[in-house]
Amino acid sequence: MVSKPPVGDPVQDAPQVTPPQHAAAGLPAIGHTLRIAQEQMGLRRTARTLLKVNQKDGFDCPGCAWPEGDKRHVAEFCENGAKAVAEEATLRRVTPEFFAAHPLADLADRSGYWLGQQGRITQPMLLPEGGDRYEPVTWERAFAIVAEELRALGSPDEALFYTSGRTSNEAAFLLQLFAREFGTNNLPDCSNMCHESSGSALTETIGIGKGSVSLEDLHRADLIIVAGQNPGTNHPRMLSALEKAKAGGAKIISVNPLPEAGLERFKNPQTPQGMLKGAALNDLFLQIRIGGDQALFRLLNKLVLETAGAVDEEFVREHTHGYEEFVAAAGEADWDETLAATGLDRSEIERALEMVLASERTVVCWAMGLTQHKHSVPTIREVVNFLLLRGNIGRPGAGVCPVRGHSNVQGDRTMGIFERPAPAFLDALDKEFGIVSPRRHGFDVVRSIQALRDGEAKVFFAMGGNFVGATPDTEVTEAAMRRARLTVHVSTKLNRSHAVTGTRALILPTLGRTDKDVQAGGKQFVTVEDSMSLVHASRGNLPPASPHLLSEPAIVARMARAVLGDGSATPWEEFEADYATIRDRIARVVPGFEDFNARLAADPGGFRLPHGPRDERRFPTKTGKANFTAAPVEYPRVPKGRLLLQTLRSHDQYNTTIYGLDDRYRGIKGGRRVVLVHPEDAAALGFADGAYADLVSEWTDGSERRAPGFRVVHYPTSRGCAAAYYPETNVLVPLESTADVSNTPASKSVIVRLEESASA
């Protein structure tokens, strides 16, 4: 029976703690999937929806960006994918009556979990200047308000157009086109907060900011290193690929400050054997110290260089640049200091070396554990050094694999959602549309918050996402957002960002992936690009959650017409009526999309975008070669009596969307304000298991930030390291604490002290 949304806010946060688990998925995953699907959609809709997700004639999962194989299973989804689908296809509704009953102040007091559980927003809503609650507004009036505010700006650069990774290629292409025709490159996106460090490091070293492996490569690899990633929760179907690779003889090394159940054993629900016994994954678990990954790969590289015949000399000679400088830098690395930075023993590194030397096809996979540190870009460069040394780029079964966390975050960037666009892209765009795009770079996420804080930006527009929930320095960010003249959110469901508004605010409810999309030109589909550069279609099959919704492309097209008026020669109406016309333009502007519509029609499974390093060992870098780099080894230095905290997701969470209050694999139930600390560290700091502590972060400028009332959980973390969930701990991350080069918030290495908590 479909359950009603929670009335009271269940986030009383009294977490129950049991020992962590050592296996992922299995029967419990099926149980949780069916329970949540049933609660949100009921039985018939559950079947109708889950049997279409990730199918060639179905819709793309709005969860992470893990690819599908050519052969699809009947159930081509994981537990967390099903949760994402269930919450979007929920039968719960947020109506104008809901907003009448819940003033802004009430919404601001609610937890993210409670807001998200209320259901799909059914009508456009306006928070008028001086008003205390949202009121219904017509779409025409809403676009008129947007036009009014944008036209009143002193410069187009006072506007910000944020994109979350759920935005389709078609909507993303239109949004960047609109922003540039309007006159700004202020196109921050969620990639700025997640894989920007990967993009920066890979573009410099191999010439393209994307992973170079396909699913088939992962299956063919004989060594897979999974670093700074927890696939069991964040990319669950990756476990099937790891299981398949293991069955093919591959070895797996996981590098993580936390032991994660999903890397220990995978109980694959697709097979009875898998469901009951499962497959061990890890061959070696390196419980690294937070931020110690660059040091680890530097030591492995040092040992490879010292091992006769271990370097692929021919590959290095023919395809790389900067080898000598790198060899010199590796030679200078002090063993003891570098080893200490890893928190590992020499024997563990030597064990890993044996596996590296025995491998002919190595893939390194990573996620936020590598990208959200001050030194993330040098760390990922060192991973590339590691793969170049033995020619593991552009060889089947080998390569780089940054695993994207949002279903179309890579596609949005490919479509031009980037504050630092390549001149060639703008040239092609201007030629195609007869516009003059601005060439000065725009604001990324952190720079956007600073601009709002400092009054440089006055209008904030978000295509999906939960900006204030996802960003660092919560108090600073929320205060900055409240300085805006207008905040606009294109959303499917409620979240914190709807409660933290500018002087005026608009909520523009849109179709979800599961919704059928019919325009003047008939039934429409959109496209997405997964983590391995495969572009494919997504077709919703459910009646829209409300007759008042507009699709993402329609919202952008109508906003553009309202703002740009008759002065724009861009065929916005045509684009709204038939998305194939958008794809025809994409085909002429974005390399790799030639004959876009025809190729989609020819193969429902989609097509893979070209990738020079993968396809032909062609490296479009400044040197025309793959670049070795020789950066000094960096790692966080933590004062005595302090801990290094990483912010992370629970298993009942997807980005800032909270599906539930449990973190099953880590043994946490019914609460989220927990901090995982090594028992010996906790004892040394005077905190028993179950005690309550305030987390206080200390920043280089002497400023401090406090997150009160966390239950201390004695947990097998690496020594000196702690972990707690975001968004609850985003308040601890200073806005200025970012990665060099990529400016990504350094949310994975926050120096904190624990203080006895008054509020247990």
| Euclidean distance between CA atoms 760 and 85, whole angstroms | 35
Interface with ligand SF4, residue 64, by CB under 6 A: yes
> Which residue carries 């039934």 as its tokens?
523
Contacts of 702 (CB under 8 A, 6+ apart): none
Length of the chain in terms of residues written: 760
Question: How many other CB atoms sit within 10 Å of the CB of residue 420?
Answer: 10
**Structure tokens, 115:** 């807001």
- Closer residue to ligand SF4 (CB): 344 or 409: 409
- Closer residue to ligand SF4 (CB): 473 or 529: 529
Please tell me whether the peptide bond between 156 and the residue prior to it is cis, using omega within 30 degrees of 0: no
- Closer residue to ligand SF4 (CB): 77 or 99: 77
- Closer residue to ligand SF4 (CB): 165 or 394: 165
SS3 159: strand
CB of 66 to ligand SF4, least distance (A): 4
- Closer residue to ligand SF4 (CB): 68 or 382: 68
Question: For ligand SF4, which residue of 23, 41, 50, 78 counts as binding (CB under 6 A)?
Answer: 78
| Euclidean distance between CA atoms 328 and 317, whole angstroms | 17
| Euclidean distance between CA atoms 433 and 176, whole angstroms | 12
Interface with ligand SF4, residue 611, by CB under 6 A: no
Q: Which stretch binds ligand SF4 (CB under 6 A): 232-240, 289-297, 332-340, 505-513?
A: 232-240
CB of 422 to ligand SF4, least distance (A): 28
Q: Which stretch binds ligand SF4 (CB under 6 A): 76-84, 416-424, 439-447, 451-459?
A: 76-84
| Euclidean distance between CA atoms 512 and 545, whole angstroms | 8
Q: Are 311 and 324 in contact (CB under 8 A)?
A: no
| Euclidean distance between CA atoms 212 and 658, whole angstroms | 32
Interface with ligand SF4, residue 528, by CB under 6 A: no
Q: Are 323 and 376 in contact (CB under 8 A)?
A: no
Residue nearest to ligand SF4 as judged by C-beta position: 81
Question: For ligand SF4, which residue of 81, 156, 421, 720 counts as binding (CB under 6 A)?
Answer: 81
- Closer residue to ligand SF4 (CB): 81 or 509: 81
**Structure tokens, 36:** 């949540």
Question: For ligand SF4, which residue of 24, 25, 50, 61 counts as binding (CB under 6 A)?
Answer: 61
Q: Which stretch binds ligand SF4 (CB under 6 A): 88-96, 231-239, 456-464, 572-580?
A: 231-239
CB of 236 to ligand SF4, least distance (A): 5
Interface with ligand SF4, residue 24, by CB under 6 A: no
Question: For ligand SF4, which residue of 59, 77, 575, 596 counts as binding (CB under 6 A)?
Answer: 77
Question: For ligand SF4, which residue of 58, 63, 262, 502 counts as binding (CB under 6 A)?
Answer: 63
Interface with ligand SF4, residue 236, by CB under 6 A: yes
Q: How many separate helices (H) and strands (E) can be counted in the chain?
A: 31, 33
Tell me, residue by residue from 378 to 397, as one string, x for binding to ligand SF4 by CB under 6 A and - for no binding. Answer: --------------------
Q: Are 114 and 501 in contact (CB under 8 A)?
A: no
- Closer residue to ligand SF4 (CB): 60 or 158: 60
Number of residues engaging ligand SF4 in binding (CB under 6 A)? 11
Q: Which stretch binds ligand SF4 (CB under 6 A): 144-152, 233-241, 408-416, 593-601?
A: 233-241
Q: Which stretch binds ligand SF4 (CB under 6 A): 72-80, 147-155, 601-609, 610-618?
A: 72-80
- Name the CA dihedral angle for 227, 530, 412, 117, rounded to a multiple of 10 degrees: -80
Q: Which stretch binds ligand SF4 (CB under 6 A): 57-65, 199-207, 409-417, 715-723?
A: 57-65
- Closer residue to ligand SF4 (CB): 25 or 507: 25
CB of 266 to ligand SF4, least distance (A): 13
SS3 490: strand
Residue 641 C-alpha from the chain's centroid: 32
- Closer residue to ligand SF4 (CB): 194 or 499: 194
CB of 132 to ligand SF4, least distance (A): 38
Q: Are 454 and 468 in contact (CB under 8 A)?
A: no
- Closer residue to ligand SF4 (CB): 406 or 678: 406
Beta strand pairing call for 399-402 and 721-725: unpaired
- Name the CA dihedral angle for 50, 56, 62, 68, rounded to a multiple of 10 degrees: 100
Closest C-alpha among 154, 156, 146 to residue 563? 146
> Which residue carries 């809403």 as its tokens?
142
| Euclidean distance between CA atoms 522 and 541, whole angstroms | 14
Q: Are 745 and 449 in contact (CB under 8 A)?
A: no
Q: Which stretch binds ligand SF4 (CB under 6 A): 77-85, 96-104, 331-339, 555-563?
A: 77-85
Which 8-state DSSP code applies to residue 528?
Answer: E
Estimate the share of the chain in helix, then strand, then coil, as percent rounded to the nearest 5.
40, 20, 45
Interface with ligand SF4, residue 269, by CB under 6 A: no
| Euclidean distance between CA atoms 236 and 218, whole angstroms | 15
Beta-bridge mates of residue 519: 522
Question: For ligand SF4, which residue of 219, 237, 672, 748 counts as binding (CB under 6 A)?
Answer: 237
| Euclidean distance between CA atoms 199 and 381, whole angstroms | 11
- Closer residue to ligand SF4 (CB): 218 or 582: 218
Q: Which stretch binds ligand SF4 (CB under 6 A): 102-110, 162-170, 235-243, 506-514?
A: 235-243
Q: Which stretch binds ligand SF4 (CB under 6 A): 59-67, 253-261, 444-452, 537-545?
A: 59-67
Closest C-alpha among 110, 149, 156, 103 to residue 125? 103
Beta-bridge mates of residue 125: 136, 507
Interface with ligand SF4, residue 66, by CB under 6 A: yes
CB of 58 to ligand SF4, least distance (A): 12
| Euclidean distance between CA atoms 438 and 245, whole angstroms | 47
Q: Which stretch binds ligand SF4 (CB under 6 A): 234-242, 287-295, 503-511, 643-651?
A: 234-242
- Closer residue to ligand SF4 (CB): 385 or 656: 656
- Closer residue to ligand SF4 (CB): 531 or 621: 531
CA angle, 491 as apex, 600 and 84 as ends, to 5°? 65
CB of 63 to ligand SF4, least distance (A): 3
- Closer residue to ligand SF4 (CB): 237 or 625: 237
Beta-bridge mates of residue 179: none
SS3 371: helix
Residues forming the site for ligand SF4 (CB under 6 A): 61, 63-64, 66, 77-78, 80-81, 235-237
